[in-house]
Structure 1
Amino acid sequence: MDEQQRLAYWRANTALIRNLLIVWALVSLVFSILLVETLNKIQFFGVPFGFWMAQQGSILVFVVLIFIYAFQMDKLDQKYNNKK
């Protein structure tokens, strides 16, 4: 892999990480802390949605983000033929 491909690979990698961290921040900070009072007005499976997001929803989102990262990195490695 030449230097230009290596830079493109790392730009794509850091962009993926940045985007997933933005989702992580939205879920953990905005939905689970800042908007909890507003979201608590919505009932979800019999409990306030803000509470559910803080307790269960954020964990589920984090697990999904791990799988998305792994899947996207596999695609990125194949695209740039980055075999280790």
Structure 2
Amino acid sequence: MSEAGQDLREAVQRPASLGQTMRAVAWSFFGVRKGAEHERDIAKLNPVHVIIAGVAGAALFVTALVVLVRWVIASGVAG
């Protein structure tokens, strides 16, 4: 097996919890992270969980924006 394949298998076996993954993804949406925390996250987070959490976070963000825009338009404030 290649070294890259072995590295990927090790990364997928990382033991970070759902809460740690969601917190790291939430901070990444704001773009604010300390260097030490970023390095710790890289060592602990499962990349598959990060991708799933990122897609879910983006979907929630878009849904919240759509709901906000519909509420503003329906309230008559925009027009």
Q: Normalising by the residue count of structure 2, what TM-score does the alignment of the two structures yield?
A: 0.41
Instruction: Give the structure with the higher percent strand.
Output: 1
Q: Normalising by the residue count of structure 1, what TM-score does the alignment of the two structures yield?
A: 0.39
